[in-house]
Structure 1
Amino acid sequence: MSSTLARSQFFFIKNNSILSITKSCSSSLCKASSRQVNKVSLETDSELCRQPAALLSSTNQSQLSAPLNSTTKRLFSTNSFNIGIRNNGLNNHTFQISKKKTSSSITEKFFNRGFSSLNSALTSSSTTTSAIYGSSTDSTSNPSISFDNSPSISKQESGKKRADKPLVNSSSSVGWWLLGTSGLVFGIVVLGGLTRLTESGLSITEWKPVTGTLPPLNEQQWIEEFEKYKLSPEFIQLNSHIDLDDFKFIFFMEWFHRLWGRAIGVIMIAPSVYFFAKRKTSRHINRRMVLLTALLGLQGVIGWWMVYSGLDQAQLDDRKSKPTVSQYRLTTHLGAAFLLYIGMFWTGLEILRENSWINNPKDAVKTFQKLQSPLLNPIRKISIGLVAFTFITAMTGGMVAGLDAGLIYNTFPKMGETWLPSSRELWDLQYTRKDDKSDWFFRNLFDNPTTVQLHHRVWATVTFFSVVGAHMYVNKYKAIIPKKAIRLMHGLMGIVTAQAALGITTLIYLVPISLGALHQAGAVALLTVCLAFAARLRKPRFPIILLINNLNRNLIKKNASKIKNL
C-alpha cells in the first residue's frame, strides 16, 4: 500500500449516491472504482482550530485538493460513523468513515453529537441548496446535517436513524419565542416594581398556585378576603384606615402580578415541550431550557418566601421592622428575575445569530474574521464587565427599595450638606441583632438605609463611568469592531445617561410611583443593551464554524464545476 493511497480521500459513488472516506485502501480497490467515483478532498488542517476564519475565507482551488494531515486524522478518530444530509427522503448522501479505535478528544465528542439541521431560510436558497445536494430540491423541504455512528444501511433506515440524532443549531422560531418570553419577564419586573411602590404586595395572605388564579367573583368572597387581610400585621399597624374599595385596588395589583407569573410559566413550558418533540432545539439549548424552566418554578417559590417575611410577626420582631418584606428576600426575588431574563434573552440572540450566519455563509466568513481578532479580547471582557456592573447596581437598587432608603438624603451629588454622612450614621450599632454587637459591620452594610443608599450611589457611578470608558475604547478601535456592536455601544451610552438622570430625579422627588417604575424599567433596558453588545462580540461555537466552512466549500466546488462545464 503506497503512502499516497494511505491518505484519506472523499469518493462520490454516483449510482448509490454515497460519499465515503477511507483512511487506507488497496490499489486494486481504487482502480476498480476509478470509473465510478470523483475524488473530492477534505479541506482540514491545523488552522481549523487555531484560525477558523482564515480557513473559511480561503477560496484557493489548490486547497480543495489538499490531503489529510495529522489534525484531520485526529478529527476523524472514531470507529465508524456516517455523515448524512437528509432532505425528507430525497437526495440522501452518506459519508462513511472507518477508523480504528483511538482515545477520545474534543473533536470526537463533537462528531458523536452530530451536525445540525439547516433552517428553512437556507433551504429556500436555490444556490446553497444545490451546492449541498448537487441537484434541485424542493424549497419547502427541511434539510438537516447529522452524524450517524451506525454502518451503512438502506436509505429509508438511515433516514430514520439520522432523524433521532441531535442538532447543532436550533430553529429561528425558538429564538423568537425566547425573545418574546424574555419581554414578558421584562414586563413582570416593572409590574413588580409597581406592586412594591403601591404597597400592594402583602394584600394576598395565602399562596394558592392553582386555585388562586381566579380573583373573588362576588361580594361575599371579597369580604372573606378582606377579613383575612385584617388579620395581617400590615393592616393592624399601617392600613387599619382602608375600606373594601381600597383593599380591592391593592389586591388586584398583587393578583395581576401573580397571574402574569403564571402566564409566563405556561408560555415557557408548553412551547418548550412542543419544540423538543418536533426536534427544533439542539442539545445544548435543551439543557438551557431545563435550567430556565427550573429557575422559573423556583422564582414562584421565592416570591411566596418573600411575601411571607412580611406576614409573619415573629420575623418582623426579629428584624425590628415595620410590616414589610425582607430586603434580602426582595433582592433575591429580583435577582432571580434578572437571571431568568438574562438566560432567555441571551439564548434567543444566540439562536437567531447562528441562523443568520447559516442563511448567509459568505457574510458569516467576514464576521468570523473580525471576531477572531485578538484586539477584540479586551473589549469582549469589558462587555461582560458591563453586564456584571449593571446587574450588581440593580441588586443594590433592590436593597434600597426593600429598606425604603430612597426616602432619605434626597439630594445629589451630596448626601445632605456633605459628600458623605458621618461615620456614626453609617455604622450605627442600633442595627445589630446580637447581644455582643459582633455583627455591627454586616448589619450596617445591608440593614442600614443610609449605608445601603451610599452603596447604590457608588455602584451606579461606577457603572456609568464604565460605560463612558467602554464607549471611548470602542470609538478608538472601531475599525476592528463589528458595526452592529458599535451602534449598540452608542445606544448603550444614551441609555445609561438617561438612566442616571432618571435615578437622580427619582431621588430628588422622593420616589414617586411613575418615576420609580420608569427607573426600574431603565435598569432592565440598560441590561438588555449590555447583553446585546456582549453577544455581538462573542466568538462562534466550533460546530457552527465547521458547518459554515462546509457550506462555503460546497459553494466553491459548485461554482468551480459550472466553470469547468463551460
Structure 2
Amino acid sequence: MASVLPGIRRAAPKLSKDFFICHRCRSTPSPTLRKVQALGNGFRSNNVRFFNTAAVPGANPNSVFTKASPLASLSQNIAQTGAKEHGVKQSSFPATSSKSVAYWLLGSAASVFGIVVFGGLTRLTESGLSITEWKPVTGSLPPMSAADWESEFTKYRASPEFKLLNPHMTLEEFKKIYFMEWGHRLWGRFVGLSFVLPAIYFVARRKVSKSMAFKLLGISGLIGVQGALGWWMVKSGLKDDLFAPGSHPRVSQYRLTAHLGAAFLCYTAMLWNGLSILRDNRLVSNPARGLEKLTQLSSPQLSFFRKSVAGLALLVFITAMSGGLVAGLDAGMIYNEFPRMGKGFAPPKSELFDKFYSRKEDGSDIWWRNMLENPSTVQLDHRILATTTFTVILSLWAYTRYSSKVRAALPKAARKGMLGVVHLVLMQAALGISTLIYLVPIPLAAAHQAGSIALLSGVLVLGNRVWVPRSSLRLVQNSLKQASGAKPVGPKAMRADLKALQRNGPIVRSS
C-alpha cells in the first residue's frame, strides 16, 4: 500500500474534477455542488497567477510550486481551462517556420534556376516549337511507338517553323529537338509537383508560420500561371497571323519575356523566403544577440545603402527582362561589337525610331513600339541597362569601402555579400560582351542567361543580410519578453520600437 500512495499523489492533480464526483451528481448537480463549481471557476480566472512561479518575484525554484511539482501542473491545466472559458484563441501555426521548410524552398529555387537555364537552351536550339499541343497529363510521356512518333512529326510538319526553316528535317533530327522541349516541360511539371505537394504537407503539419502559409499559396499560384504562360508563348509561334508573312517563325517577344519574368519571380520568392526563414531562426535562437544585430543594421548610416540594394534588385530584374526582348527578337545577331554600334556608340536616330514599326497613321506609337519591337533599339536599351547596372554595383561597392561611417556600421557578412555581387557583375559583363562579339554561340548565350539569375541571386542574398523586416524584430522582441515573463509585443508597439531602434538603439520593455 505504501508503494501505491506516491503514484496516487502524483496522478491525482492530473485527474479530471469529474473523477471525484459520482455519476448521479454529475447528471443532476445539487445547489451545493453548483456553488463549489462556481467558486472553482472564479478561482481559475482570478487567482491562476498565484501558481505561476515565473510571475512571483523571488520564488524558490525548489518549492512545491515549481513546474516539476504536481501543483504546478495543476495550475497550468487550470490556466488553460480558464483561457478556453474566456474565449482566448491561440494560433495553431508557429511563430517561426521550420528550417526544413527553408531548405526545401532553397532546393526549389535551385530547381527553378536549372529550368530557366534549360529553357534558354531549348530556345537557342530552336526546339521550343517541336511539340504543337499542350497536354498537362498525357503529355508527360514521350511517343512510345513508331506510329506515335510519326503522328507527332506530322503535326510538326504542319507548323510554320517546319515549312519555312526545316523543310528537309528528318524524323531522327526531329526527335532531338522534341526531347529538348519534352524535357523542359517535364521539368516544369516536376517543379510544380515538388513544390505544391510539400507545401500542403508543411501547412497541414503546422511547420510554417501563418504568414508563410499564405506566401506558399501565392507561390503555388504563380507556378500555375507560369505553366499557362509557357503554353501561351509557344502558341504564338504556331500561327502565321502572329508574325509577318514570310518572316522567321518565332514566339512573341512579349510572351517570351512574360514567361521569363514569371520564372524570375518564382525564383525570387523561393530564394528570399528560404533565406528569411533561416535568418529568423538564427535571430530567435539567441534573441539578445539577434536584437544587437538588428540594432546594428538599423543604423541611420545604412539607410541609403539598404534602399540602394532594393533599387539594385529591381534594376537587375528589369535588365534581365530587356534581355528577354533581345532573345525574342534575335537582336543579338546584329551590331556584334562593343562598345560601338556601327560608326558610333548608338545607331542613327532614323534607325532607332523607324516608322516601319508604327501601326498608327499619326505615328503616336512610334516611340514605345521601337523600344519593344525594333531589334536595334532593343539591343541599345539592353546595353544601356546593363551598363547602368554595372556602374551602380561598382559605385555601391566603392561607397561601402571608402565611406568610413558605412564601413564601420556594415556587418562583415554584408561586406562579403557586396564583394560577391561585384564578382558576379564582372563575370556577367564579360559573358554578355563575349556572347555579342562571337555571334551568340549556344554555350556562351546559355551561360549569360545563367549569369543574369546568378547576379539577381547575389543581390537578393545581400539584401537579406542588410534588411530589417518588422516581422523579424517582433519575433526577437517577443522571444525576449517570453524569457523575462513580460507580455508579447503587438504590431503597433513593434512599429514604434522599430523607429526608436533606428534612433536610440535596443529597446527592452518592462513588464
**TM-score, length-normalised on structure 1?**
0.70
After TM superposition, what 4+ stretches of structure 1 lie above 6 angstroms from structure 2? 32-37, 90-93
Question: What is the CA distance between 1:374 and its match in structure 2?
Answer: 1.7
Deviation at 1:373, TM superposition (A): 1.3
Are residue 367 (structure 1) and residue 293 (structure 2) matched?
A: yes
- The alpha-carbon deviation at position 35 of structure 1 amounts to 8.6
Letter in 1 for 2:427: A
Counterpart in the other structure of 2:172: 245
What one-letter code is carried by the residue in structure 2 that aligns with 1:375?
Q
Tell me which residue corresponds to 2:499.
none
Displacement of 1:36 in angstroms is 6.4
Percent identity (aligned)? 47
1:241 is paired with a residue whose SS is coil
Deviations 1:163-191 (A, max 9, x none): x5332211111111001001101001101
User: What is the rounded CA distance, in whole Å, between the counterparts of 1:527 and 1:35 in structure 2?
Assistant: 56
AA matched with 1:529: G
Q: Quick check: 1:324 aligned with 2:255?
A: no
Cα offset, 1:551, TM superposition: 5.4
2:188 to 261, 264, 269: 261
1:221 to partner: Cα distance:
1.0
8 Å CA contact retained: 2:288, 2:480: no
One-letter amino acid of the counterpart of residue 418, structure 2:
M
| Match for residue 526 of structure 1 among 445, 449, 455 | 455
How do 1:350-389 and structure 2 match up within 5 A?
Answer: 350-389=276-315
Shift of 1:308: 0.6
1:315 positional shift: 1.4
String of CA shifts for 1:273-324, please: whole Å, max 9, x gaps. 1001100111110111111110100111100110111001111248x84210
Aligned mates of 2:333, 2:140 — CA distance in 1:
34
Distance in 2 separating the partners of 1:93 and 1:324: 73
Take 2:77 and 2:328, find their aligned partners in 1: how far apart are those partners? 62
- Mapping for residues 512-551 of structure 1, pairs under 5 Å: 512-540=441-469, 541=471, 542-550=473-481
1:182 is matched with 109
In the alignment, the residues of structure 1 paired with residue 254 and residue 48 of structure 2 have an alpha-carbon distance, to the nearest angstrom, of 73
Separation in 1, partners of 2:261, 2:275: 21
1:465 corresponds, among 388, 391, 402, to 391
Aligned pair in 2 of structure 1 residues 249, 41: CA closer, same or farther (>3 Å)? farther
Partner of 1:449: 375
| Alpha-carbon distance, 1:424 to partner | 1.0
| Coordinate RMSD, CA, aligned | 2.9
Greater share of helix residues, 1 or 2? 2
Change (3 A) 1:92 1:339: farther
The one-letter amino acid of 1:524's match is I
Q: Which position in structure 2 is the counterpart of 1:203? A: 130
- Show the counterpart of 2:410: 481
Please list the CA deviations of residues 352-377 of structure 1 after superposition, one character each: whole Å capped at 9, or x if unmatched. Answer: 11011122333213212212212221
* Cα pair 2:93 2:209 within 8 Å, conserved: yes
Q: 1:483 to 1:222 in 2, by over 3 A?
A: same
Instruction: Give how far 1:94 is off.
Output: 5.8
Unaligned runs of 5+ residues in structure 2 are: 1-12, 15-43, 59-66, 487-511
Paired letter, 1:405:
A
- 8 A contact 2:284–2:476 mirrored in 1: no
Question: Tell me, what secondary structure is at the counterpart of 2:453?
Answer: helix
Residue 221 of structure 1 corresponds to: 148
Asked whether the equivalents of residues 306 and 463 of structure 2 are also in contact (C-alpha less than 8 Å), the reply is yes
Distance in 1 between the 2:243 and 2:365 partners? Answer: 18
AA aligned to 2:163 is I
Q: Post-superposition shift, 1:474?
A: 1.7
Matched residue, 1:111: none
Matches of 2:352 and 2:75, distance apart in 1:
73
Post-superposition shift, 1:333? 0.4
Q: Counterparts of 1:483 and 1:345 in 2: how far apart (Å)? A: 21
Task: Give the Cα separation in 2 of the matches to 1:34 and 1:281.
Answer: 31
Aligned pair partner of 2:419 in 485, 490, 510: 490
How many residues are paired up?
425
Task: Find out whether 1:499 has 2:428 as its counterpart.
Answer: yes
- Matching residue's letter, 2:380: L
Contact 1:380/1:538 (8 A) holds in 2: yes
Return closer, same or farther for 1:248/1:356 CA change in 2, 3 Å cut-off.
same
Is 1:304 the counterpart of 2:219? The answer is: no
Q: Go from structure 1 to structure 2 and tell me whether the alpha carbon gap of 1:33 and 1:343 turns closer, same or farther (over 3 Å shift).
A: closer
Deviation at 1:438, TM superposition (A): 3.5
Distance 1:91 1:352 in 2: 34
Larger radius of gyration: 2
**Structure 1 236/93 Cα, relative in aligned 2: closer, same or farther at 3 Å?**
farther
